[in-house]
Chain A
């Protein structure tokens, strides 16, 4: 018995503070605690609902008065007592007609449970739910909207029926709950929220009954943002703030609270709206306005928000905003706004990373903010921080670390209370981490895993959503790389257009690569030149280095090895300066190859030794294979090996080269990179022959022959590429 009492007591608070329940839900909840009480409640309700008005009046008169019943649960200081005092006060204030309406709504509430609908109505549990008999505060507002659903048994179209159904009013609490839930879902897991059109309909319906419901306008704004509707979202946003100004104005002056405050934030929100739609000039103007009003009323917090938007805007416009960001961080720290401060730091880290700050500085900064995040449980920022670390590790070419960080983020359970069955948040941070994960797997040739990750991304971030572009680009890039590795240039070519649509620079670079592969060097060269100029202007170092490498490769094709050298050295310097390890090692590979071609294989081998370690540790399969192939060739050259076998070669080195080639074979075959495999087999056959191992030689020769037939295209001179 005491256990039941305990469970009932625990139920009281959720019932009182939670959203309104249907009778069914309510009874079930009570039944789980105490079947006896549930039965009593049912009986009481039945008595009242099937009786007359006097039965309800009788119920109220029999209630224990909270002021006299000292030993009952309903004493005035208890939770129930407080609630009952509220209820009785509200009840006593009702006029006769209102009491009658209350009774009517009670009846309706009761009967709607027993006359359970059979058709589509079940799919909308939140909407079918009606006022609970307890919710006296809302009675006055909504009882007028009651519908007799029984009347509806006439044949109507399904759509009409739905429409009429949707007319059903929500009580204030239900509406708030609905809005809060949808807003939460929109933020955290958009897929679980109602579809944009359906949500719009709900909101329209809600607003029709209560146009003053400002929050609904705000949700409307969020919903319109989802479908990129500038017109409607601006309209809703302004409407929301118009309404908010009304509700905030009661008895408050133009000070910190009240409508002066909402005015500032109205302008700020407008700025963010324009910013999101890429109207930078408009955003700028709105932001100026917000800043001015905030300054006039000395609102530092709002000013801080403005400042962080200002540097975001500057960043989006592509100008340098480091100073602004630093200021923002300082001020935010001063005003104790941890969120803004660490957001600023994160933004600084991002800028620092592109501007070649050292890794340890960036990591230190992130670590410091992380402490702040955990202290204030800013889960959103923790996610961003992890995603950022992933990106930074990847940029610096430490794929293992990147992998680890991405996994960390994905496996982290959210700090926010997980509601409504949301498993994973669909924030940008998750999208970024997942994209990195996909690319990292692709680099290792694990295409099966990649497609799984992409599938997940597609489900989590449907194509219309805000962050869908991230995975779209990632998907295209992976496909492109794959086709290029497999030598299917004709398949890679159409992807270039798609990539260009998402990212112009990337698209141009890919285009140059395809052209280069198709031996259209002149066109490729002109594109690369243009790209280099553009990227140097916008300070995109990574692309600049990659462009330089591609240009060097073009030089090779015309045997301009000595002209390629200064380019490569320049690239190497840049890569080292920005601590871009993967690019640096790739540059070294290029450099070694050039040296090999220039006839100084010893030098090449020593340079290679420097790069081989990081490549094997962090590089992609392709890089590993290429590095090993190059090493083998250097070894052969150092050994004084000649294809015709005239000169006496250093046998020890030749054996070493065979080993290296075997290893490379493993990598290339994993990637299905047939052209390079062909080269490898060719070299292997020669080496085996020089060692007199005829059977192995024959085997390699056969493999070479098979691949050569399959590829059909005439083999380019083995020596001419990396």
Chain B
């Protein structure tokens, strides 16, 4: 902690670094990195004029290429990549070389995208490839072995490698790029996409720079290690980045991932106040609103985003969520499809579309959508979970076990997967496994508060009345301790069972307490009353014979072990 503080102590230095890297990125057309750095720089206090960093040294080569570069950059900005590349050919400065290669890369990507949009709908998988990649790779690898690549070109080389699915090499190159130029956020981000588990993350040798903390926090979020991520972000805020919208949004996403909905909502609302025209991460926000069924807020958000930019993936997702909440699933699916048209690698949209198809009972389309989601990201637990649900709907409990297990593997501490697993096991009459799952689901913190109830019912089925009663007790405690009213709460069931249980075990005071509480619920009222009558009957039977002979001792003779608070009036010690 102390080390961190000292690292961040010199915020001025950080700001200087940011400013210089922003201009570097801008010159090279790396817009997203520039945006990220600018956002971060904006969150820091402005520098006085004399503190502003000097512009980078201007070499002879740069001067030589200046005209070509300026021309090419303007073409580049106008998305005429081939033209830009043409005029940059033969330039020798690093900057020009990067822009040259980058234009060629982008030109290939653009053509690829054009072809994809041209012929194929979102539900078909294209086989279109970026043709320039291989040439770029050959050239870059030559330069790489010669050691002539700077930080930006290394980054580009990594991207090319990644696009060619040479992941191992890509990781190495990205690490190298980061070491050469630690301030380029794009390289970190690319690297984060390639890190699949914590062991891999630990094995990477990363430069010791303040930006590493951002990376680690991002990585923790990605790897579902939310607690660590939140800790990191908290440290960053304390170190002076409190105004950064980036950090706020990341924290909100992290809360969303651990389903701390209220916290996340609060943060998103704050974010929208600070940055009202922001579209990034708004799909996550809409997910939260959806979960909370906050129709007006979601509708407001949707309208607002459409006004800002209706051709954004996030906007489409928000609208999809909005329609889904209004049970217009066809329209919702349509918007998710549109989102996918805009970005076929948009993971969330595939999964959400799967959900919509599920709602429409179109299981095969749902399976397809989920499979696509998995293709994009194998770690998408929601898609695995969705697949499991689909097969569960198709009444294949054994088959869906595999998918739920996958989902559980990815989110070991998510109770929903465990409950789903338990339900499947229960359907397969594997009660032992089911019990384990439910208990584990309760232990990891049950979100839906269903695990205990199911566990209790299972015990009830197996005639393990003690365990069942205990579970119901815990369930009732759980329900009342969480305060809010849950729709599906079955407190009455629990009370009913507990009443009967106590009655059978001759604990009449507890039984009558439960019966009375039963009467609070419509569906259990009759039974509660009946039980109360039974109790009083039995009490009469017991107390009548003893009343004559052992009147003073009657209290000791009754099998009541503990005294119910309801009996206080008649009770005299």
CB proximity to A under 8 Å, residues B55-89: none
Known contacts A246-B368, A267-B398, A270-B399: does B142 contact A154 (CB below 8 Å)? yes
The answer for the CA separation of A282 and B398 in the assembled complex, in Å, is 8
Give 9 CB contacts A-B under 8 Å: A144-B126, A154-B142, A163-B166, A209-B127, A210-B127, A245-B364, A263-B396, A285-B428, A292-B395
The answer for the CA separation of A289 and B396 in the assembled complex, in Å, is 6
Write the chain A residue with the least CB distance to B362. Answer: A249
The answer for the CA separation of A293 and B396 in the assembled complex, in Å, is 8
A151, B135: Cβ atoms under 8 Å?
A: yes
B127, A169: Cβ atoms under 8 Å?
A: yes
Known contacts A141-B127, A154-B142: does B387 contact A285 (CB below 8 Å)? no
Interface majority SS (helix, strand, loop, mixed), chain A: helix
The answer for the CA separation of A410 and B367 in the assembled complex, in Å, is 47
B115, A144: Cβ atoms under 8 Å?
A: yes
| Minimum C-beta distance from B405 to chain A (A) | 10
CB proximity to A under 8 Å, residues B129-151: 129, 131, 134-135, 138, 141-142
Write the chain A residue with the least CB distance to B138. Answer: A154
Write the chain B residue with the least CB distance to A248. Answer: B364
Query: 1/0 per position for A332-358, CB-CB distance to B under 8 A?
Result: 000000000000000000000000000
* A-B interface pairs (CB < 8 A), number: 79
A259, B142: Cβ atoms under 8 Å?
A: no
- For B119, the chain A residues whose CB sits under 8 A away are 140
CB proximity to B under 8 Å, residues A263-295: 263, 266-267, 270, 282, 285-286, 288-289, 292-293
Given contacts A248-B364, A249-B364, 7 further A-B contacts (CB under 8 A): A144-B129, A145-B129, A210-B125, A211-B125, A267-B399, A286-B399, A293-B396
Known contacts A210-B125, A242-B371: does B138 contact A151 (CB below 8 Å)? yes
Query: 1/0 per position for B90-118, CB-CB distance to A under 8 A?
Result: 00000000000000000000001001000
Write the chain A residue with the least CB distance to B116. Answer: A144
Query: 1/0 per position for A129-164, CB-CB distance to B under 8 A?
Result: 000000000001110111100011010100000011
- For A527, the chain B residues whose CB sits under 8 A away are none
| Minimum C-beta distance from A174 to chain B (A) | 14
Spell out A's residues near B (CB within 8 Å): 140-142, 144-147, 151-152, 154, 156, 163-164, 169, 208-212, 234, 238-239, 242-243, 245-246, 248-249, 259, 263, 266-267, 270, 282, 285-286, 288-289, 292-293, 296
The answer for the CA separation of A266 and B128 in the assembled complex, in Å, is 31
CB proximity to A under 8 Å, residues B184-220: none
The answer for the CA separation of A208 and B128 in the assembled complex, in Å, is 11
Please report the total number of B residues contacting A with Cβ < 8 Å.
Answer: 34
- For B364, the chain A residues whose CB sits under 8 A away are 245-246, 248-249, 259
A212, B125: Cβ atoms under 8 Å?
A: yes
- For B394, the chain A residues whose CB sits under 8 A away are 263
- For A163, the chain B residues whose CB sits under 8 A away are 166
Q: Is B158 an interface residue (CB 8 A)?
A: no
The answer for the CA separation of A164 and B112 in the assembled complex, in Å, is 19
Q: Is B375 an interface residue (CB 8 A)?
A: yes
Query: 1/0 per position for B359-394, CB-CB distance to A under 8 A?
Result: 000011101100100010000000000010000001
Known contacts A151-B135, A151-B138, A246-B368: does B398 contact A289 (CB below 8 Å)? yes
- For A238, the chain B residues whose CB sits under 8 A away are 399, 402-403
| Minimum C-beta distance from B274 to chain A (A) | 41
Write the chain A residue with the least CB distance to B375. Answer: A211
B387, A242: Cβ atoms under 8 Å?
A: yes
Known contacts A147-B134, A151-B138: does B398 contact A270 (CB below 8 Å)? yes
Q: Is B165 an interface residue (CB 8 A)?
A: yes
- For A152, the chain B residues whose CB sits under 8 A away are 138
Q: Is B348 an interface residue (CB 8 A)?
A: no
Q: Is B397 an interface residue (CB 8 A)?
A: yes
The answer for the CA separation of A154 and B136 in the assembled complex, in Å, is 12
Q: Please list the 4 inter-chain residue pairs (A to B) with the smallest Cβ-Cβ separation, ordered nearest first.
A: A249-B364, A144-B128, A285-B398, A289-B398
The answer for the CA separation of A142 and B115 in the assembled complex, in Å, is 12
- For B375, the chain A residues whose CB sits under 8 A away are 211
- For A169, the chain B residues whose CB sits under 8 A away are 127
| Minimum C-beta distance from B394 to chain A (A) | 6
- For A243, the chain B residues whose CB sits under 8 A away are 371
